[in-house]
Every structure is written in C-alpha cells, then in structure tokens.
Amino acid sequence: MEARTEPDFGANVLVFEPGERDAAARIAAVFKAQEAAQFGQGRYALLFKPGRHEVDVPIGFYTHVAGLGRLPGDVTIAGPVWTDAAWMNHNATCNFWRAVENLTVAPPAGVNVWAVSQAAPMRRTHIKGELQLSSRGGSSGGFLADCKIDGVVKAGSQQQWFSRHSGWKEWTGINWNMVFVGCENAPAGEWPEQAVTRIERAPVVREKPYLVYADGRWFVQVPPLRREAGVGTTWEKGDAPGEALPIARFHIAQAGRDTAATMNAALRAGEHLLLTPGIYLLDDTLVVTRNDTVVFGLGFPTLMPVTGRTALRVTADEGVIVSGLVVDAGAVETETLVEFGLPGRRAGRSENPTCVHDLVCRVGGYGPGKAKTMVVIHDSQVVGDNFWLWRADHGESVGWADNTCETGLRVEGDDVTLYGLFVEHTQKHQTIWRGERGRVFFYQSEMPYDPPTQAAWRSPRGNGFASYKIGDAVQAHEAWGVGVYHFFRDAAVVADAGIEAPERPGIQLHHLLTFRLWGGKKGSGIRHVLNDRGGEVIVSERAKVK
C-alpha cells in the first residue's frame, strides 16, 4: 500500500488547505515576486486541495495554479484567478508562461480576467461567470482546453486564439484568426468575412495529465486517448476516466539536486519523472527509453543544456507522455533542443501514440541562447497539444547574430497531429513538415523582425523564407486556420510567400491568412499568402485565402 506521506516537491510548490489562514499572504508573496519577472529565475506551483478556498489568486510569470481534485468541482476558488498585465500598462502581449487547470473559479463580481498571450494555457477549468481574455491593452493569442464558462467569453483585443473541447454561453470578439475544435456555442460567421474556423471533432486527442490528492494519497491522473472526440468537456458528466499513477512511481526531481545522470537513472529503472519548479542545467541529454513513460512538469520546470547537447530525447517506441516543460537553449549552440524519435526511424503506433502537452522552447531573451532547431519529430503517430517555439524578439542577448535559430519545428514522421501550434521569429522556415498525413489545427507565426538585409534572408525559392513549409514530396497534409504575420523592423525585406506547399489534391489547407503588424520598414512585407496565391501585405494590412 502506498504510504500516505506528503511528497517532497521542494520549497517552490505551495500546497493550500481549505480555510488556511495565511493563504492570501503566501499567494500575494509569490505574485509580488513574479508579476513582472518576465525573464526571472523563479518558478512556482500553487496547488489547492479539495474544498472551498476563499482567496484572490493573481498569477504572474512562471506560476502554475492547479486544483488537486479528481474533478474541477472538487476545488472551488471563491475569488478571481486572474492576470491583467498591470505590470505592462495592461498590455498583455507579453503575458506569457503561466497556467491554470483543474478547478472551479467563482469570482464574486462574476467576471474573471485572463489577459494572456502565448504559453498561458487554461485547462479543465470551470468559470462560474464571465471570462475576459484581455484587459485594456493588446493581447496576442492563447489556448483554452476542456473548460466550461457559464457566462460570456469576451475575447476583446485577442489577435488570435485556439479553443478545444470547451463551452460557454456566448463568444464575443473575432479579430485575425480564431479556431474552435469541439466547442459548444462557437461563434457564427464564415471565412473569409469572419476569421472563424469551426471543427466539430478532433480525430485523436488526449487531455493533459493532472495531479490529484484524494483519500490521503497523491497520484497523477492520465486521461485516456480519445478518437473523433466531439463537442464539450470530458468532466461535466462527473467522469474522471483514465489511469491513476501513484506518486511513488515517479522520481520527483528538484533543480540543483538532480542532474541529468540521476534523472536518466530513474528513467532507465522504469520510474516516471516529475520535474518540480526550477531551472535544470543539463550537462547531458535526458533520454526516455521506455514505452508509456510519463514526464510531468509542475510549475514551469525549465531544462537548459549547458554543453550543447539535446535537452530531451524520446527514443521509446510509443505511448510516452510529456507535459508542462520549458526548454531553453544555452550559450553553447545545440543542434536540436527536443527530439521525438531518431533520424531515419519510423516508430509509432496509432493505438498508443506519444502525446505532448504545453511544450515551450525558447532561444534567447533570458540570456545567451543558440540552437539550430527547437523541436524535431522523427517518429510517427505523435499528438501535440499547445506548442510555443520562440526565438526571442526582445530581452537580453537578442539580435540576428546573437540568439540564432534556423527552424522552430521539423516534422519527419507520418500521421502527426498538432492542436495549437505557435512558432515565431526563427531565421529560416519556422515550420518544415516532411511527414505524410500531418494535421494542424491552428497555426500562429511571426516571421523574424530582424533580417538585416534581403541578401541575408533568401531561401532557394527566392526572397525570404515561408513560415509554414510543406515538403515538395509530401502527398497528403491538412491544416486549418494558418496565420503568418510580419513586422520587419530592421530592413525593407520581402518574403515571397507566407506558406509554401505542393499543389496536389492531397494537400488540403483551409483558412489561410497573412497580416502586416504595425510599423516596420516601408516596402517590407509578404507578397503572397500561399505560393503565388493571395494578395500582398506590404501596403495592405491583411490577406486571406479560403
């Protein structure tokens, strides 16, 4: 029988009992440290045990807020769980790296503000009231999955947004590109007049694992794989299906104590891996060799390779689950930050795909960073759910020759499905897809701001590099809601196309757009949306292809 002891999650995991007297002060202290710490060292998880908590929960950078119940209704926060970007004059375009999951929020005023941009997922959450996705300034895209909002969702200034298997009374606000998969009351409107994409079913999906405390025991709940998943959440009928993995089956890692060697030893011994909040400086690659291993990130744990080696490599054949990780390039250039599979290998099985949730990769901004490619998927049958792959456009050590990165994502495997793919600012193609039968539900990308000259930014096809590149030999690929934006800050450069793809019947691309962000050098922009189709965004603000 598993011992009923509290796991040692370290000092940066705060666990709250219902009615705890000093809860508000502890939460406020974390927010004070993290509110404006965009590139800070702090990492935190705030975990709420089942019951009612009458607290206000503001959320800053690198803060993961989660209920510990089997169902969202087991934990009620009788107060807002919010972020509004007051640190940036309510401009939420840099409100990154924060998360909420598995609880019910009952804000006294009936309104909950979640003004965020990339890498700020809200999952498995019940909002008893209205949800506002922006404050008084800009906001630039987010991710909502398995959530129920009793009132209206007000998107406000959100430029783009991806929602999956969620529902609300009404959705208001449509701007550039909004995609809804399996959502109740998705907004009306038809492309291209309205930038709305509605898809009733997800072909294959698994919800993110979550941490549970019940009957005095801790475990990680792994939801089941679903096929042709239709409208609505997984939990509203009172179900919590899946496998409960006791915490004793996890190696609980702590930054500063655990090394690549200790974590690899645990993985080889058959343990799952739970990474607690912190920055893990890796002198070697973490390698997942065993099928059905769970790598669970709690509180935005950050992996940084310091010797130029790959940070994380999955060599198991199938069934691995990776969730909640940040991977930063180090000062020594890394060829690839994260790899799923091995070059030339075609592992993967449709009955038991590898699933990846809330994966963030970064090159620069926090300090020196260099990588050729952020993520490569060699294996087939991989399901991704919320990726943000970002070459920094601001922060420290940022410049064309400083934080170098050619490509965000390269897919070599077949039958790879991604929901919510955000890739930005890399110096060649942002995404290269060479595998067959790939599927992408929502794509958001900004081309690099800083090409110094047109000569420095030319592909074999001509001027610039298309953001979304489907390989010339690919026979079948499908994507919905593909948006490519530009703001060429340093030179008057042009990209011939935002998207490049073979022209053949098996390539099905739906709802494509390019957008010219504000400013930029006169005469710069994107000439076509797809290959030689679609208008320019050099003088025009926006171009669309149906």
Structure confidence by residue, pLDDT tens digits, 168-203? 999 999 999 999 999 999 999 999 999 999 999 999
CA distances (Å), 540 to each of 72, 138, 530, 536, in order? 45, 21, 16, 6
pLDDT at 409 over 80: yes
Q: How far is Cα of residue 258 from the mean position of the Cα atoms in its chain?
A: 25
pLDDT at 100 over 60: yes
pLDDT at 546 (0 to 100): 81
CB proximity list for 21: less than 8 A, separation 6 or greater? none
Please give the average per-residue pLDDT across 81-109, as a whole number.
97
- Classify domain 13-199 at the CATH topology level: Pectate Lyase C-like (2.160.20)
Cα–Cα distance between 542 and 514 in angstroms, integer? 6
> Which residue, 435, 439, 406, 441, is CA-closest to 421?
441
Confidence (pTM)? 0.97
Specify whether the CB–CB gap between 497 and 529 falls below 8 A: yes
pLDDT at 115 over 60: yes
314-545 falls under which CATH superfamily? Single-stranded right-handed beta-helix, Pectin lyase-like (2.160.20.10)
* Confidence class for position 3, pLDDT limits 50, 70, 90: very low
Token pair recorded at residue 27? 């939460």
pLDDT at 1 (0 to 100): 39
> Which residue, 44, 50, 43, is CA-closest to 67?
50
| Catalytic center residues | 446
pLDDT at 33 (0 to 100): 98
Question: Residue 226: beta bridge partners?
Answer: 205
> Which residue, 118, 92, 94, is CA-closest to 39?
94
Cis peptide before 246 (omega within 30 of 0): no
CATH 2.160.20.10 location in the chain: 13-199, 314-545
> Which residue, 98, 124, 100, 110, is CA-closest to 36?
98
> Which residue, 143, 153, 73, is CA-closest to 113?
153
pLDDT at 282 (0 to 100): 98
CA distances (Å), 423 to each of 15, 388, 446, 513, in order? 34, 6, 7, 15
pLDDT at 496 over 50: yes
Question: Residue 65: beta bridge partners?
Answer: 46, 100
* Confidence class for position 4, pLDDT limits 50, 70, 90: low
Token pair recorded at residue 30? 């974390």
pLDDT at 161 over 70: yes
Cα–Cα distance between 254 and 242 in angstroms, integer? 27
More confident residue, 501 or 346: 501
> Which residue, 66, 133, 142, 140, is CA-closest to 104?
66
- CA dihedral angle for residue 172, residue 174, residue 180, residue 184, rounded to 10 degrees: 20
Which residue type does 440 have?
A: V
Please give the average per-residue pLDDT across 455-460, as a whole number.
97
Mean pLDDT, rounded, of the chain: 97
CA distances (Å), 355 to each of 163, 276, 294, 320, in order? 18, 20, 10, 6
Q: What is the CA radius of gyration of the chain?
A: 22
Counting Cβ atoms within 10 Å, is residue 459 exposed (0-12), middle (13-18) or buried (19+)? Answer: middle
* Confidence class for position 516, pLDDT limits 50, 70, 90: very high
pLDDT at 385 over 80: yes
Please give the average per-residue pLDDT across 263-279, as a whole number.
98
Token pair recorded at residue 492? 């008057």
